[in-house]
Structure 1
């Protein structure tokens, strides 16, 4: 296939990353849901699980089916599932919101498996793959940053200031999803070369027999764990330690996402100057320092700076790891994508542990769960050799 780079084709693909960022609304929305339905921290910790657990079950099957469906068609399917999911919470019950979260997760799973490879269809120079993926992460981070604003808009404007109307944020996300789907649908994108359709689940999981792929797979698991967990716990730190109101505590995930956005944006340029692995190592060590201070130093300003620091220093790690995995086996890009995105389930595995640790031993214990993820990423940073 002869690829053509066109800004008109790149833009709707990059905007798809904005829809991808919707899954991060689980952090601030779990606070509203906990108050509306009287949930414990442990129960609230399962809200991200309802979104991210589906990556474990659907990523590889979608990666296999994408060979037959095509990348663009698979992205369109993800948009449709997401749109339906954003309408169900209008039923205004706890189970309806949980179903909405689940469909958001299923749609996001399909989107992450298909949208990353779709960039290959519109980017000519493969040396720019990491930068292109990081640019997509910038767009995703902007979306994540907008999440608390969308929640406040739903409560204060659409809901008349009643916190019980927080669920109105979902149809707003649905409307944005519809715009993204229509833009992509009417944009011509070159078709990719189809890979072997005789691939089985066993063969995909068999890719983990490659030590490098295994280490990178676990790297995705833990970096997404840090991402979702920091989003989840940041507002709860401000509520538990300093007695902030739920609306005021929403500034914590906003600080996290704006710093992650800045970090991803700057990372696009920094990685043209230094190697991706060196950048990985510097940032993960800095992130560990920020987590340690957040865990044991109780000052509102310092804690917010640490939350932002975690977002900044971890902002490019996902794209670095994902890019290294694809470059390891470029001839199996669809399958590698499905396998790597399966590891995004780490976002749903870490938050219940944080909720349980918080209920059992306090918010500091919950923050310490982040260190486990960061320690593995340090091992990964020094244990994997760059394929470049």
Structure 2
């Protein structure tokens, strides 16, 4: 592959990263749905859990599909599904409507996360892959931290939000998704033929078996669990941070929504600065520093009762968790370079942690308050600390 970077293609995939960030609206959205439909924590947490459930089902099939139709076409399909998901909530807010919308959002995001990261490797590749993926996460984080602001604006400004309240964020993001689709459609990206897809005797069943067989490699398995913990902490903080403020500071949901934005603001800062740090700092050292910040955060979220302590804790976990995905994902891809599509499918399947963690956190918080949810996240942070010795 040429060292020359296709600038237009790079811009288009970065806008796709922005569209990838749409999935993070589920955190603040689930809080508004909980309020509007008067649900408990365990029931409300079904929504973020449902979004990430589809990563378990569709990640590996998407990796196989990429071998057949290519990475760009798979990303295009993901954008189409995402646009439909964002269209549905415009027409209502019933429990069933939101279940269908969040399911489609999860399916679209599964397709996108599985195919977009390898597509970046096609456009950039080489030693700049980790930093480019981190910059993509920075772009994604912009969409993530904008969602609570848009939702709060819609909830408090009846006329500008066209009478649909906080749900105004759905048509706004849908319009951006359409732009991303058109830009990618007209960007030329050269893809090498997949060796797996070329073999006429390579049945779909064999491809599935070869994909899951990669979990037999210790490093791939450890990375898979690491991704589960990363996204569990991410979705958990996204969903739980406003609840912690409501529980301990007695503020309204519209005011508590800032907690989600604060998390993503520092995730954005972390991704942006991480783009540079990953070029000059030892990857393992940077990983350890990030996890230590998250450990300190868990302590603050567990016992903190003042606004300052809670805000600092949310900022720490936002910054600390910002580069974990890119580091683990890049390490896994480079560990098995001849099976990048399959490894990508497995790593994105690890986002199923976004289903496991919120369900357990919902039960724990109903039983012992939001401190129970924090304890569940802390278990994930401890695992990441043990994983750090495997980072090259």
Counterpart in 2 of 1:48?
Answer: 48
Q: Secondary structure at the match of 2:333?
A: helix
Q: What is the RMSD of the two structures over their aligned residues, measured on CA atoms?
A: 1.6
Give me the whole-angstrom Cα distance separating, in 2, the residues matched to 1:354 and 1:333: 33
| TM-superposition CA deviations, 1:326-354 (whole Å, max 9, x none) | 00011111111001000001011101111
Could you say if the C-alpha distance between residues 215 and 41 of structure 1 is closer, same or farther in structure 2, counting changes exceeding 3 Å? same
How many Å separate the matches in 2 of 1:35 and 1:159? 21
Q: Which residue of 2 aligns with 1:121?
A: 122
Q: Please tell me whether the aligned partners of residues 241 and 298 of structure 1 are also in contact (alpha carbons under 8 angstroms).
A: yes
- Distance in 2 between the 1:150 and 1:69 partners? 36
From the superposition, tell whether residues 19 and 224 of structure 1 become closer, same or farther in structure 2 (CA, over 3 Å): same
Shift of residue 248, structure 1, vs aligned partner:
0.5
Could you tell me how far 1:370 is from its partner in structure 2?
A: 1.0
Do the aligned partners of 2:270 and 2:323 also contact (CA within 8 Å) in 1? yes
Q: For residue 91 of structure 1, report the CA deviation from its aligned partner.
A: 3.1
2:255 aligns to what?
A: 248
Give 1:158 deviation, angstroms. 6.0
In structure 2, the partner of 1:106 is 107
Residue 244 of structure 1: SS of its match in structure 2? coil
- Shift in Å, 1:268: 1.2
Whole-Å separation in 2 of the counterparts to 1:117 and 1:91 = 35
Query: Counterparts of 2:145 and 2:152 in 1: how far apart (Å)?
Result: 12
Q: Structure 1 149/308 Cα, relative in aligned 2: closer, same or farther at 3 Å? A: same
TM normalised by structure 1 equals 0.95
Q: Distance in 2 between matches of 1:52 and 1:169?
A: 20
- The answer to whether residue 71 in structure 2 is matched with residue 71 in structure 1 is yes
Q: Is the 8 A contact 1:231 1:253 kept in 2?
A: yes
Per-residue CA deviations over 1:229-264 (Å, capped at 9, x if unaligned) read 011100000111111111100110111001111111
Distance 2:270 2:161 in 1: 34
**Aligned residues of 1:155 and 1:163 also touching (Cα < 8 A):** no
Match 1:282 to one of 246, 269, 289 = 289
Q: Which residue of 1 aligns with 2:303?
A: 296
- Structure 2 Cα separation of the partners of residues 361 and 160 of structure 1: 40
CA distance in 2, matches of 1:163, 1:77: 31
- Quote how far apart the aligned CAs of 1:155 are: 2.9
| Native 8 Å contact 1:255 1:307 kept in 2 | yes
- Deviation by residue 1:117-170 (Cα, 9 ceiling, x = unmatched): 11122115x100000100101001111111112213433446667997323322
**Residues 242/128 of structure 1: CA separation in 2 closer, same or farther (3 Å cut):** same
**Structure 1 alignment gaps of length 5 or more:** none
Contact 2:150–2:168 at 8 Å: present in 1 too? no
Aligned to 1:141: 141
**Contact 2:90 2:164 (8 Å CA) reproduced:** no
* Stretch of structure 1 that moved more, 171-180 or 131-140: 171-180
Q: Which residue of 2 aligns with 1:60?
A: 60
Q: Which TM-score applies when normalising by structure 2?
A: 0.94
Q: Which of 259, 263, 269 is the aligned partner of 2:270?
A: 263
- 5 Å-filtered alignment, 1:223-238, equals 223-238=230-245
**Is this contact kept in 2: 1:195–1:332, CA < 8 A?**
no
Shift of 1:273: 1.6
Cα-to-partner distance string for 1:295-325 (whole Å, 9 max, x where unaligned)? 1121112101100110101110110000000
Partner of 2:31: 31
Q: Secondary structure at the match of 1:279?
A: helix
Flag the 1:32–1:115 CA change in 2: closer, same or farther, 3 A. same
* Residue pair 1:36, 1:164 contacting (<8 A) in 2 also: no
Match in the other structure for 1:165: 165
1:46 positional shift: 1.1
SS in 2 for 1:319: helix
Indicate if the aligned counterparts of 1:74 and 1:111 stay in contact, CA closer than 8 A: yes
| 2:371 corresponds to 1:368 | no
What is the distance in 1 between the residues matched to 2:299 and 2:278?
Answer: 26
1:207 to 202, 210, 214: 214
Q: Which segment is superposed worse, 347-356 or 161-170? A: 161-170
Correspondence 1:81 to 2:81: yes
Whole-angstrom CA distance in 2 between matches of 1:164 and 1:71: 36
